[in-house]
Amino acid sequence: MERPLTEHIRKDLRPLTLKEYEQAGGYQSVRKALKGMTPKDIQSVVKDSNLRGRGGAGFLTGLKWSFVPMDSTIETKYLIVNADEMEPGTFKDRLLLESAPHQLIEGMIVSAFAIQATISFVFLRWAYKEAANHIRFAIQEAYDAGYLGNDILGSGFNLEMHLHTGVGRYICGEETALLSSLEGKRATPRAKPPFPQVSGLFGKPTIVNNVETLCCIPHIVNKGADWFQKLSLTNDAGTKLFGVSGKVKTPGLWELPMGITMRELLEEYAGGMQDGLKFRGALPGGASTDFLVEEHLDVKMDYVSIAAAGSRLGTGTMIVLDDKTSVVGFVRNLMHFFAQESCGFCTPCREGIPWIEKILTSLEAGKGEGHDLHLLDFHTKYLGPGNTFCALAPGAMEPLQSALKYFRKDFEHYIAEEIQNTTHPLPATRKRLITDISKF
Amino acid sequence: MLSLEETHEIDEAVKIVPYRKAACIEALKIVQEHRRWISDESLREIADYLQMSAEELDSVATFYNMIHRRPVGRHVILLCDSISCWVMGYENIRTEIMQRLGIKYGQTTADNRFTLLPNPCLGTCDHAPALMIDNDLYRDVTKDLLEDILGKYP
Ligand SMILES: Cc1cc2nc3c(=O)[nH]c(=O)nc-3n(C[C@H](O)[C@H](O)[C@H](O)COP(=O)(O)O)c2cc1C
Ligand code: SF4
């Protein structure tokens, strides 16, 4: 089984020096691209490879790049790698950042060349201290070796690279909020259009891609689109870093072909559930994906199959729910996160998620009211796609709506007894709200 | 007044961006690195240096949870409270730390040694529960390990 992204990662996770990386075949794609290919050639091979963004949304990378104006009169364009990894349950980019910094830099150089960007940033979350040290060191090595700076390898192509470490907040990972943050502003998302490809950082054309996405680029350029497609067991190309956390025997992270099943991941790699526990469900790709349950265990882990099963591949890092963990507590923990990390810009998200958290907390405390489940249902619609400014709120609703669907009894359990001695009548405003659900 | 060292470092950050105030987050980080937190006075000094209003800078500073607008102790404990750590029982670790140090979230011990803060997912979920103290990450934390871990930070 080929594992291009992780094959050069040492057992002790110490990153390769530039020399060691070159000896292992590193930076070949930079030579190949800058000396023998046009930006258009690279864009085509990436498009043909069918690579989809690994940051969560799964957007086709080649297509995204194709919106960048290639008119030579534009002086400044930016390439940014999104290394803000903060989606709860996600720990995949950390490995590539800490243990393979040169692979990322190589991917960034080739990608920047493909869109003719001359300035690049690594937007790294503050908590990844070791990654910051390794990347800082690797960038310096790359400058010293002439892979960065002016006239790279005598090709006439110039590229600056800077490391920006963040100062917290999940919303910085949303690509337009990331741009606001890099400009020294509050990290509120921006209206689209204009899309960042046309007007991004400081108003200039900008591409933002995930770490894992850009790490695929050198391999695609070296070995071709067909090879990349064939790494996968299904139509969604490539390998993928898959992770499992929760009460399984051996939680971990593995590079595997796209399209392995949830069951294989859970049983062969994560070792199955801990003794005495049963699998109840899992968020397949981080906190903002819908629960999948036992009946889905044979679903293939790729963008199309997971979507067909009613969830999203997201970041590919699965969080497992076992039968002794409270579903309501699980969802309440997630809602606490989303409520805290809402940027506060739009009302449904800013006010709605804390409301949900309050309802769940009161359910757990035995203070649920008869209409609480209706209110929760209402929120999953009211905060759904199209009603908020960015994807944080709809993402937050995914685990909630699917928990209400698959584990409704767990929620009702808290209310059933209570409802009998409930004397509060439903306030008129709430009644109206609930009847209005059908509109959304 | 900003020290020479601080202004040097801020000048480097300003070089990368098209206008001065775009470097304000870097500047906040730099000054916090030297002074441990951002007081109203520090805020005004940075704002003046970057030719922006202190109010505008404060709107940025208060947005980000890793910019401390209140004093913190010599060491900051950041305890992950997100989903995988919750499943793996971080709440026991939280109770233990709070009892040992006699502080709640957001508080600093009387000897100014530790500040305790909750923190969203630290990105090491296969080794939950996790916490950070200053720049150091601790994984697979158990109650029994806490004595040793905390002991490293005088
Ligand atoms: C609230 C929120 C947080 C996000 N956080 C991240 C992140 O930490 N890393 C990331 O790569 N993408 C994140 N994304 C997705 C980005 O907006 C963007 O789609 C992605 O960086 C594009 O890269 P890709 O096309 O290579 O996947 C986030 C999106 C949202 C709505
Ligand atoms: S959905 Fe939430 S995070 Fe996104 S813009 Fe609105 S308030 Fe901000």
Give me the pLDDT at residue A72, please: 85
- Answer yes or no: do A187 and B137 touch at CB < 8 A: no
Q: pLDDT, tens digit, for every residue of B92-118?
A: 999 999 999 999 999 999 999 999 999
Give me the pLDDT at residue A162, please: 98
**Residue A345 alpha carbon to ligand 2 centre in Å:** 5
Chains A, B: CB pairs < 8 Å:
127
For the question of an ipTM over 0.95, the answer is yes
Pocket test for ligand 1, best of A50, A54, A61, A87 (most atoms within 8 A of CB): A87
Q: What is the largest CA-CA distance in chain A?
A: 80
Q: Which residue carries 């769940």 as its tokens? A: A360
Do A18-230 and A239-322 agree at the fold level? no
Residue B150 to chain A, least CA–CA distance (Å): 19
Lookup: tokens for A240: 């993928």
Share of chain B above pLDDT 90, in %: 100
Within a 10 A sphere around the Cβ of A416, how many other Cβ atoms? 12
* Nearest-atom index, ligand 1, CA of A53: 27
Report whether pLDDT(B67) > 90.
Answer: yes
Say which ligand is closest to the CA of A350.
Answer: 2
- Answer yes or no: do A319 and B125 touch at CB < 8 A: yes
Within a 10 A sphere around the Cβ of A330, how many other Cβ atoms? 26
CA distance A192 to A174: 13
Give me the pLDDT at residue A439, please: 52
Give me the pLDDT at residue A423, please: 47
Give me the pLDDT at residue A171, please: 98
- Answer yes or no: do A88 and B132 touch at CB < 8 A: no
DSSP B131: E
CA distance A130 to A67: 35
Q: Phi-psi region for residue A33, left (φ > 0), alpha (ψ -120 to 50) or beta?
A: alpha
Give me the pLDDT at residue A413, please: 86
Give me the pLDDT at residue A417, please: 61
Q: Does A392 contact ligand 1 (Cβ within 6 A)?
A: yes
- Chain A residues lying within 8 Å of B83, measured CB to CB: 88-89, 287, 319, 330, 333-334, 337
Cβ–Cβ under 8 Å, residues A124 and A86: no
The residue of chain A with its CA nearest to that of B133 is A127
Which of A264, A300, A237, A260 is CA-nearest to residue A45?
A: A237
Q: What is the DSSP string of A349-416?
A: HHHHHHHHHHHHHHHHTT---TTHHHHHHHHHHHTSTTSSSSSHHHHHHHHHHHHHHHSHHHHHHHHH
Report whether pLDDT(B10) > 80.
Answer: yes
From the list B25, B66, B84, which residue is nearest A246 (CB)? B84
From the list B25, B82, B88, which residue is nearest A88 (CB)? B82
**A276: buried, middle or exposed (CB in 10 Å: 19+, 13-18, 0-12)?**
exposed
- Contact partners, residue A411, CB within 8 Å, separation at least 6: A327, A328, A363, A372, A373, A376, A403, A404
Which of B144, B114, B125, B129 is CA-nearest to residue B79?
A: B129
Q: Which sequence spans correspond to the domains of chain A?
A: 18-230, 239-322, 327-426
Which of B67, B97, B68 is CA-nearest to residue B81?
A: B97
Q: Does A33 contact ligand 2 (Cβ within 6 A)?
A: no
Pocket test for ligand 1, best of A51, A65, A80, A82 (most atoms within 8 A of CB): A82
> Whole-prediction pTM value?
0.95
- For chain B, domains (ranges, CATH) are 4-61 (1.10.10), 75-151 (3.40.30.10)
Say which ligand is closest to the CA of A207.
Answer: 1
Which CATH fold topology does A18-230 show? Rossmann fold (3.40.50)
Q: pLDDT, tens digit, for every residue of A376-429?
A: 999 999 999 999 999 999 999 999 999 999 999 999 988 866 554 554 555 555
Q: What is the mean pLDDT of each run of 10 residues along chain A (440 residues)?
A: 96 97 97 97 98 96 98 93 98 98 98 98 97 98 98 97 97 98 97 96 98 98 98 97 98 98 98 98 98 98 97 98 97 98 96 97 88 92 94 98 96 72 52 53
For domain A239-322, give its CATH number from 3.30.2350.10, 3.40.605.10, 3.20.20.140, 3.10.20.600.
3.10.20.600
Which CATH fold topology does A327-426 show? de novo design (two linked rop proteins) (1.20.1440)
Q: Does A392 contact ligand 2 (Cβ within 6 A)?
A: yes
